[in-house]
Amino acid sequence: MVSSDGLLKTRIVVERKKVQLAGRSLWALTYNGQYMPPTLRLKPGDRMEIAFENRLDKQTNLHVHGMHVSPSGNSDNIFLAIEPGKTFDYSYQFPESLEPGTYWYHPHPHTLSAAQTAGGMSGIIVVDGLDKYMPANLKNIQEHVIALKDFQIVGDQIKTQDLKMGAPTTRTVNGQLNPRIRIRPGETQLWRLANIGANIFYKVALPGQKFHVVAQDGYPVNKVYSADSIVIPAGARYDVLVQGGPEGSKQLETLPYNSGKAGNQFPQATLATVESSGEPMTAAAMPTAFAPADDLGRATVAGRKTITYTENAAGTQFYINGKQFDHNRVDFKVKLNTVEEWTIKNDSDEVHSFHVHTNDFQVMSINGKPQTNYGFQDTVDVPPRGDMVIRSRFLDYPGKTVLHCHILNHEDQGMMSVLEIEK
């Protein structure tokens, strides 16, 4: 679905439906009857209108993850509850300053976010415009959305209750089991890597080749950097340039990953088969400089906050500053058009991610080590017994929103707080 004349207008129907998935017929929670729903594609400054119909037997709502847009009214308001049988008209007016890159959409009703997202309710949003930063020979290159979605099975349905992160999990790319991605030897493509699942981690690699990162969490980098593998927690996205290797096939895979002694060990798995074939191309030089730098390192800091993650010994209840989520309580307040510095402390023995709605942030340091500013992000891991310092500028939109761990099991079990942005 693509915007036209500044408007993307569509309908999303939420319903439990049988889908064909990984060679089986399974009950799933779907958008428009599909496990992998349509990608929504728009431009900065566009308007998006969604007639959102809930045919489930439980309430739900819609969150446009990572997008800089109003958190109030009928826009990106996660405090709304769309009850069974009801239709709600969402309307989003995106600013001209909306950063190009990859975003996603999913449900955000408290205590039900993990179940509904794991059940299948998630899709991709693409904001066009990365081309303006590309060198001439890399404009309009082939691109692939690589949406990482995973599911667990119980009987003939995708599991939504009693989700265990360490349980056997089927990982898909765009809802397909080990699909083929075709590329010519030497060809440069843009891959949009997005973890749009509820809970688990991916450590994505293409053996023998590097990913050249041009955007992270929908934010173009100021300097292209390369990586052999990228850890992508639930909710995070990386737009990368990939060049075709010698003729032949390779496996795009997720490598083993350990999220801490109180966390989980995720095994290696094949995600897709990359087939390099056809007329070879001369490999293009990778860009180095990219988008303009935005650095809050020298900004005037209007306030400082400490956000501490803890959990109970059983790993079943999760807290921020000793409290569990209450939508009626405001936990943190900031002033519009100011910059604040926050210290995120993880006083547990497993990785937790940090995600905040409405405004992205710059990671200043992790465990006291200064971090290179490649660009802002919206979902970043905080190491076990570690800390992360961030700075954020609160632009354009007042209102109530939230910050939380984006492992949705943890969010639903309390690890979320209300943030109020005051005029």
Residue 97 banded pLDDT, cuts 50, 70, 90: very high
d(CA 341, CA 299): 10
Residues in CB range of 354: below 8 A, 6 or more apart? 307, 344, 379, 380, 381, 382, 388, 390, 403, 405, 406
Residues 141 and 121 in one domain: no
User: What stretch of H or E contains 113?
Assistant: helix 113-118
Question: Taking Cα atoms as reference points, which of 79, 84, 266, 70 lies closest to residue 167?
Answer: 266
- Residues pairing with 275 in the sheet: 182, 249
Residues 269 and 388 in one domain: no
Residues 148 and 213 in one domain: yes
pLDDT of residue 268: 98
Instruction: Give per-residue pLDDT as tens, 220-278.
Output: 999 999 999 999 999 999 999 999 999 999 999 999 999 999 999 999 999 999 999 99
Both tokens of residue 12? 């999303």
Please check whether residue 282 lies inside any domain of the structure. Answer: no
pLDDT of residue 10: 98
Residues in CB range of 361: below 8 A, 6 or more apart? 342, 376, 377, 378, 390, 391, 392
Residues 118 and 151 in one domain: no
Instruction: Compute the mean pLDDT over every residue in the chain, rounded to the nearest whole number.
Output: 98
pTM above 0.95, yes or no: yes
How many structural domains does the chain have?
3
Residues 179 and 221 in one domain: yes
Q: How many residues does the chain have?
A: 423
Residues 28 and 98 in one domain: yes
First-to-final CA distance of the chain: 35
The CATH number of residue 183's host domain is 2.60.40.420
Please check whether residue 165 lies inside any domain of the structure. Answer: yes
Tell me if 63 sits within 8 A of 69, measured CB to CB: no
Phi-psi region of 166 (alpha: psi -120 to 50; beta: other; left: phi over 0): alpha
